Amino acid sequence: MASLLLTGMRSCSASPSWATRFGTRALGTTAQLQAQAQTKSKKSLARPGVKNIVLVEGVRTPFLLSGTTYADLMPHDLARAALKGLLQKTGVPKDAVDHIIYGTVIQEVKTSNIAREAALGAGFSDKIPAHTVTMACISSNQAMTSAVGLIAAGQCDAVVAGGVEFMSDVPIRHSRKMRKTMLSLNKAKTLGQRLSLMGSIRMAHFAPELPAVAEFSTSESMGHSADRLAAAFGVSRAEQDEFALRSHTLAQKAQDAGLLQDVLSFKVPGRDIVSKDNGIRPTSMEQLGKLKPSFVKPHGTVTAGNSSFLTDGASAVLVMSEEKALAMGFKPKAYLRDFVYVSQDPKDQLLLGPSYSTPKVLEKAGLSLNDIDVFEFHEAFAGQIMANLKAMDSDWFGQTYMGRKSKVGTPPMDKFNLWGGSLSLGHPFAATGCRLVTTVAHRLQKEGGQYGLVAACAAGGQGHAMVIEAYPQ
């Protein structure tokens, strides 16, 4: 399959101008769109007999490089901060929420149900059930759509969803042999048994098992897979660096303009107040070009500069039925409409979730690509984004892998990730989904659009997409 993909995509490689077309357009389009902020008159996606479910508010802690200001905290501290921030920003009574759902990827063993621990710490009523979900980089997407499901089924009227990731302190295990020996020691009944077991310990037993961002089914790291995917779709190093520079430049502009309204100020215990993401670093093509390949050496194209970085952060959203939200006096930000989840081959199509999920969710919603005013795609790697855009722009890929008559088409770059993305803002694995949805809601309000689309890839070859509709202003 890999050779088929490589051969097919090289045969339809884009011209050198492709980088200009998809990578560098519209560095200054946000202001233009704001000036044109008039809501377009399109049909609503409301359906007779189906509950309208709304996003009332979304918040997040600042996303920080791992090992920096949050280094001495625990994951539930960040989740608690996001939940407390949501309570303060909305003023929702602490006992008015019916359920709390949180996503996380790398579990802290002391807080296995982090949703419950964070909710209690944030001051929510102990009568509110809470559970934790995990679906790699779309974990908070899963939390949100689980909330939608509970409300649509009539089980709940108000649900808080969110996600947290804490890469500053990840579980590092003893080796399997050491764990077995320690468990046996715990069961040993006599001194002789204990001495015998202790005598069996060798130096090799002390070698730790370190966590890795790698596929269990293939043992391949996500970065290595991104490098192979970029090669298969003919994405050059320059194209990737151009897109990374675009992401950081747009994020800096959005931050300076005060557009990142979802970011909370957070007083870190024993340290300063944090109020901004700290991974936004606009640089130059020259500086990016000096970085060496991180995964496929020495000839790979994925580097630290065109990849998302290890990030600590948490996010939270308040999702309600429209009826309940209005009854409580809230002005919703957006409607949460159709969504889909997809899965592909985790070996050769690990990061192509957006290519598969985008046409499916558009078809489900009865929309076309041209109907979408705001696009927010998760940027795991610049090469992953560019490969997805090329796949969506390829008749061959659409026909061969998706069973379509023609290509999906590509999002216009003057609508795409205009406030930066995961490459620049950061990517706490389980928290990114809520950021994407909240950003779409805010951009729709700012730019006067009606429909937004979120899409993301995830480990395991999975993906997600959701259509979001602006709430009438």
- pLDDT tens-place string over residues 91-128: 999 999 999 999 999 999 999 999 999 999 999 999 99
pLDDT-wise least confident of 156-165, 205-214, 283-292: 205-214
Q: What is the CA radius of gyration of the chain?
A: 23
Contacts (Cβ under 8 Å, ≥6 apart) of 443: 374, 376, 418, 419, 449, 452
CA distances for 98 relative to 151, 155, 236, 413, angstroms = 10, 9, 49, 39
Report pLDDT for 270: 92
Report pLDDT for 35: 43
Q: What are 273-287's pLDDT values in tens digits?
A: 999 999 999 999 999
Strand, helix or coil at 308? coil
Tally DSSP H helices, then E strands, for the chain: 17, 12
**DSSP 8-state class, residue 370:** G
Does the pLDDT at position 162 exceed 70?
yes
What count of Cα atoms within 13 Å lies in the side-chain half-sphere of residue 132? 24
Topology (CATH level 3) of domain 53-170+218-470: Peroxisomal Thiolase; Chain A, domain 1 (3.40.47)
Report pLDDT for 455: 98
Structure tokens given for 46: 């409301």
Whether residue 434 lies in the annotated active site = no
CA distances for 193 relative to 175, 179, 198, angstroms = 21, 16, 9
- Beta-carbon count within 10 A of 368 CB: 11
Structure tokens given for 316: 């939270």
- Beta-carbon count within 10 A of 20 CB: 13
- Beta-carbon count within 10 A of 199 CB: 8
- Please give the single-letter amino acid code of residue 376: E
CA distance 382 to 302: 8
Does the pLDDT at position 77 exceed 80?
yes
**DSSP 8-state class, residue 473:** -
Q: What are 296-331's pLDDT values in tens digits?
A: 999 999 999 999 999 999 999 999 999 999 999 999
Report pLDDT for 115: 98
Angle between helices 139-152 and 432-447 (to 10 degrees): 70
Share the mean pLDDT of the chain: 92
Q: How many residues does the chain have?
A: 473
Report pLDDT for 36: 45
Span between the terminal Cα atoms of the chain, in Å: 49
CA distance 151 to 58: 18
Does the pLDDT at position 28 exceed 60?
no
Does the pLDDT at position 398 exceed 50?
yes
Report pLDDT for 7: 56
- Beta-carbon count within 10 A of 404 CB: 13
Give, for 177, the enclosing helix (H) or strand (E).
Answer: helix 176-187
Report pLDDT for 30: 45
Report pLDDT for 1: 53
Does the pLDDT at position 21 exceed 60?
no
Report pLDDT for 27: 41
Strand 130-133 versus strand 99-103 pairing type: parallel
Does the pLDDT at position 32 exceed 60?
no
CA distances for 256 relative to 180, 211, 276, 439, angstroms = 54, 36, 10, 16
Among 12, 156, 434, 457, the one annotated catalytic? 457
pLDDT-wise least confident of 212-221, 345-354, 360-369: 212-221
pLDDT interval class at 19 (50, 70, 90):
very low
Strand, helix or coil at 55? strand
Give, for 267, the enclosing helix (H) or strand (E).
Answer: strand 266-267
CA distance 121 to 73: 14
Strand, helix or coil at 61? coil
Contacts (Cβ under 8 Å, ≥6 apart) of 183: none
Does the pLDDT at position 434 exceed 50?
yes
> What are the structural domain ranges in the chain?
53-170+218-470, 176-209
- Contact present, 76 and 114 (Cβ < 8 Å): yes
Structure tokens given for 320: 């309600």
Mean pLDDT of 398-426: 97
Q: Tokens 């759902």, residue? A: 101
Report pLDDT for 473: 84
Percentage of the residues of the chain whose pLDDT score is greater than 70: 91
Q: What is this structure's pTM?
A: 0.92
- Contact present, 409 and 392 (Cβ < 8 Å): yes
pLDDT interval class at 5 (50, 70, 90):
low
CA distances for 207 relative to 106, 175, 221, angstroms = 21, 6, 21
CA 348, 381, 227, 172 torsion-angle sign: negative
Structure tokens given for 337: 């409409």
Q: Is 201 exposed, middle or buried (0-12, 13-18, 19+ CB in 10 A)?
A: middle
Q: What are 128-158's pLDDT values in tens digits?
A: 999 999 999 999 999 999 999 999 999 999 9
Q: Tokens 């020259």, residue? A: 286
Q: Which residue has the higher pLDDT, 172 or 451?
A: 451
Residue of 430, 78, 137, 414 lying closest to 274 (CA atoms): 78
Angle between helices 237-256 and 382-392 (to 10 degrees): 110
